[in-house]
Structure 1
């Protein structure tokens, strides 16, 4: 940790930062930015500089050494990271990947779902308490385990306690929407806190040459949690699927109880995992100085540009991400069919993560992230057309196969973007302030996908025009309905012997607005800004380590 005065001196000498050279770290010290830079060079340069520092002319100052196979320690570290990301991915996936919203959709309007969507905000605002997580800990337990262990115990306890009431709350959510929102807000908050500690641990748990695998571990862990909480759960929760295969239906209560026990088990395992002690500066223990450092980092012009980039980057496909699948279910797609689509999609997400990790290196780390924008915008358009021309059920096998292919390609592009930008964050994050730097970047990346969701869901109801058609003595009477989407709205119309008819679907208006803004921001701002940022030397992002 460094003082504010020292940081100001660094910014005043920004032009000389590219030539800063510091002696390599010992195995227990914080990672040195120049050594990490060597792992991000092109293949030819890596062979020339695998153990040395390149001078300004690109010449190597040391003799190259052959590339070593991944050590057993790194293999164990990757297994640990994948498990920890999985644990936080399961509860977050229940909310963020729409498993619970799918179950609530039949009972709530889109405006009510917008209120429930606010539960995701802790994951996007974790920067505000990340300095505390990064600085305060019990030395006898470990810098990261001091937070990971209690967070997992709390997450497991919430899921276990909720397992006795979840099914009832979800079946009658109209009167319990605020309680459900509070419960899931708590789960997301504690998962976000664990994520801060795990991100920080990843920077020191893996060796320098394998640090890029941190984003791979995150992708595998979170995607597996998504697979369990979306694909597996939705399929086994369906009565039609259970009856078809002659198996008991998996209730939300049983699912939460199972993962509560898993949380306890993994927490017990952590007690036997040794955390290496880090050599920390006294200032790193000062929370106030951490906040001041974050503020000084945020005042850097290129950091501000990156944060603004994240804030607007996901607008173009927000309607597609938040509403499209809900609309397909509304038009007759069965939940078990949707689960099959995601099941077949899972291995391609893993492949997408590997491809993005391979190309997110060197001086073009954001290349996969930028290239995937156009496919994602294209899929947002095609998804809107699919909803518009969605066939009347039952769904044919041919159309289901088309949906599978469409979903696979769409998520493939999304995974490439996620891993690409995560790899870039790993490259530029300063290990000397642990997970705080990464959390700053991830906060705005997550916020870019969180803040539009509320307005998208509210916009669907705002632009929709629904009527309740009544038949009175042979005369058709049309009454303006507040909403005819949820069971409550439809029941109210049916109680008057009427039928809900949507004459204008706000989904198409919101989708068009999002895609239009997405194309404009991509061409006029995102592409030129991203190319300028990725061209900056790594040392320009390392404010603390450059001192």
Structure 2
């Protein structure tokens, strides 16, 4: 059991520029709670003083725990600045494999695989959303002399670097015939994402102690900058420089997947060596509960039993269905329609600085007693832009595309990703605010797991659904030939059609049906559940998110 020295609770502020998190308060045992309502159950997690305070109006709660204004104006110390740089670098190294698995590799495989096969490869992104299953192990087992977080970050980065080196040495064999290597490709990238996710657990926990309390909210901004930079380096920059047409047009060297992977494997090794010899981790107070994996799993279960946490989990699991089809398939459809990969990469590359700016603006907009307000508002533009994306695919002009249409693509991408960034930073800041630092990265990972899962689990069904609802036949130009291939959805059907000299013609594209289903669900769920639930959750005082270890 943890023991806390009696003291006044830390002040809590909803400002993203200065977030203080109250310490966990032990729960006073109560003999019988069977006849009490759910609110009384939650209030039993607080001490007497906090229960009295929680009974007041929510607005009084906010004013009671708000921090003095001058705290948010304190200058950032040199130690915090170094910590922010380190966090950005560590999150950057996580974004590199994620950008490959979720971004560029599916585009490279699209020419050779069906949407159903791409759905299988999409399973490689699942470990990042399931890291909660082993986060207690990361949080509880470590070498005290080496550092609680470095004990996991160092080996994970070495493994990730080695896996990227392995892929670089075998990329020609794997990509030459990807249809017969889908299993191996999925396995390798699943391992790559899994070890990156394990590193993310340790980095999330380190962020809660690496930065001072006054600068704690900047952890989500560092995550946004680092992950986005790594993701776009592996997605947009790589796709552009990987295109021979782009290299010839702009006179830049042609970048191969093998060379790109070798470069980042070396960077992983160099950063790891620096961490080993030049970065000393501050000692954290270790208690018996910290060392017990069972205790951490029990704490996760206790957290999940809180009614407001359960509501937040439901919100996360279904919040992204509305734009799931857009996120999973629109880019692939544009390339299929004739939009060049290097042009798509250039569009997203132009969007990158706006993503960074969106992160800073979202941090400012999340200030006050309604931190989830920008996250809620951003749902509407994301749904609208998902609808516009489907219309762009439907009315996509025959190549080459005009400059006006290219500008439309840029504007649409910038605005859509800006809304996405606002949501990402807003919900990450909210998680940082309510997470208990005494459990390290486990609390953050618990909440982030369901956020990531909400965007990951629909992808498989979206890609499968496109093939399921699509109708395509094989047309042979020569009259009198018996058509052997009656459909051109499966790889077998496409192969038969090619053998008889036919052409696959799509009669009905399942992309539009799946998009309509996702958008309809997204609007209904947003109005009926997400908005009222989120407004209720953001009014709760920080203390009710604490549980007894």
The TM-score normalised by the length of structure 1 is 0.89
- Cα 1:87/1:19, change in 2 over 3 Å: farther
What does residue 350 of structure 1 align with?
A: 356
Contact 1:471 1:477 in 2 (8 A): no
- What is the alpha-carbon distance in structure 1 between the residues aligned to residue 47 and residue 419 of structure 2? 34
Alignment of 1:132-147 (within 5 A): 132-147=137-152
What does residue 188 of structure 1 align with?
A: 193
What does residue 117 of structure 2 align with?
A: 112
Contact 2:371 2:538 in 1 (8 A): yes
What does residue 435 of structure 2 align with?
A: 429
Q: CA offset at residue 412 of structure 1? A: 0.3
Q: Deviations over 1:361-402 (max 9, x none)?
A: 332111111000000000010000000000000011111111
What does residue 68 of structure 2 align with?
A: 47
Q: What residue ranges of structure 1 are gaps of 5+ in the alignment?
A: 22-39, 51-65
Contact 2:355 2:421 in 1 (8 A): yes
Q: Deviations over 1:472-531 (max 9, x none)?
A: 4456858421417x7x86454222011110000000000000000000100001101111
Matched, 1:457 2:450: no
Matched, 1:281 2:310: no
Q: Deviations over 1:81-108 (max 9, x none)?
A: 0000001110111112x21000000000
What does residue 33 of structure 1 align with?
A: none
What does residue 92 of structure 1 align with?
A: 98
Matched, 1:157 2:186: no
- Cα 1:18/1:369, change in 2 over 3 Å: farther
Q: Deviations over 1:188-211 (max 9, x none)?
A: 100000000000000000001100
Q: CA offset at residue 245 of structure 1? A: 2.5
What does residue 372 of structure 2 align with?
A: 366
- What is the alpha-carbon distance in structure 2 between the residues aligned to residue 334 and residue 41 of structure 1? 51
Give the 3-state SS of the residue equivalent to 1:195 in structure 2. Answer: helix
What count of residue pairs does the alignment treat as equivalent? 508
Q: CA offset at residue 15 of structure 1? A: 5.8
Q: CA offset at residue 13 of structure 1? A: 7.0
What does residue 413 of structure 1 align with?
A: 419
Contact 1:152 1:263 in 2 (8 A): yes
Give the 3-state SS of the residue equivalent to 2:183 in structure 1. Answer: helix
RMSD (CA atoms): 2.3
Q: CA offset at residue 239 of structure 1? A: 1.1
- What is the alpha-carbon distance in structure 2 between the residues aligned to residue 245 and residue 492 of structure 1? 40
- What is the alpha-carbon distance in structure 1 between the residues aligned to residue 406 and residue 501 of structure 2? 35
- What is the alpha-carbon distance in structure 2 between the residues aligned to residue 417 and residue 534 of structure 1? 15
Q: CA offset at residue 2 of structure 1? A: 4.9
Matched, 1:169 2:177: no
Counterpart among 46, 50, 53 of residue 17 in structure 1: 46
Matched, 1:333 2:362: no
Alignment of 1:232-243 (within 5 A): 232-243=237-248
Contact 1:239 1:249 in 2 (8 A): yes
- What is the alpha-carbon distance in structure 2 between the residues aligned to residue 91 and residue 41 of structure 1? 41
Give the 3-state SS of the residue equivalent to 2:486 in structure 1. Answer: strand
Counterpart among 259, 266, 269 of residue 261 in structure 1: 266
What does residue 29 of structure 1 align with?
A: none
Give the 3-state SS of the residue equivalent to 1:305 in structure 2. Answer: helix
- What is the alpha-carbon distance in structure 2 between the residues aligned to residue 266 and residue 522 of structure 1? 42
- What is the alpha-carbon distance in structure 2 between the residues aligned to residue 246 and residue 317 of structure 1? 37
Alignment of 1:366-515 (within 5 A): 366-473=372-479, 479-483=485-489, 490-515=494-519
Alignment of 1:11-90 (within 5 A): 12=41, 14=43, 17=46, 46-47=67-68, 50=71, 67-90=73-96
What does residue 13 of structure 2 align with?
A: none
Counterpart among 517, 522, 527 of residue 523 in structure 1: 527
- What is the alpha-carbon distance in structure 1 between the residues aligned to residue 78 and residue 254 of structure 2? 41
- Cα 1:495/1:309, change in 2 over 3 Å: same
Give the 3-state SS of the residue equivalent to 2:179 in structure 1. Answer: coil
Q: CA offset at residue 456 of structure 1? A: 0.3
- Cα 1:134/1:337, change in 2 over 3 Å: same
Contact 1:469 1:499 in 2 (8 A): yes
Q: What residue ranges of structure 2 are gaps of 5+ in the alignment?
A: 4-24, 31-39, 51-60
Q: Deviations over 1:253-302 (max 9, x none)?
A: 00000000000000011021111001122121111011111111111111
Contact 2:115 2:466 in 1 (8 A): yes
Q: Deviations over 1:451-488 (max 9, x none)?
A: 1111000000000001001244456858421417x7x8
Contact 2:26 2:45 in 1 (8 A): no
- Cα 1:475/1:166, change in 2 over 3 Å: closer
Which segment is superposed worse, 246-255 or 488-497? Answer: 488-497
Contact 2:26 2:46 in 1 (8 A): no
- Cα 1:7/1:295, change in 2 over 3 Å: farther
Give the 3-state SS of the residue equivalent to 1:365 in structure 2. Answer: coil
Matched, 1:307 2:313: yes
- Cα 1:16/1:234, change in 2 over 3 Å: closer
What does residue 59 of structure 1 align with?
A: none
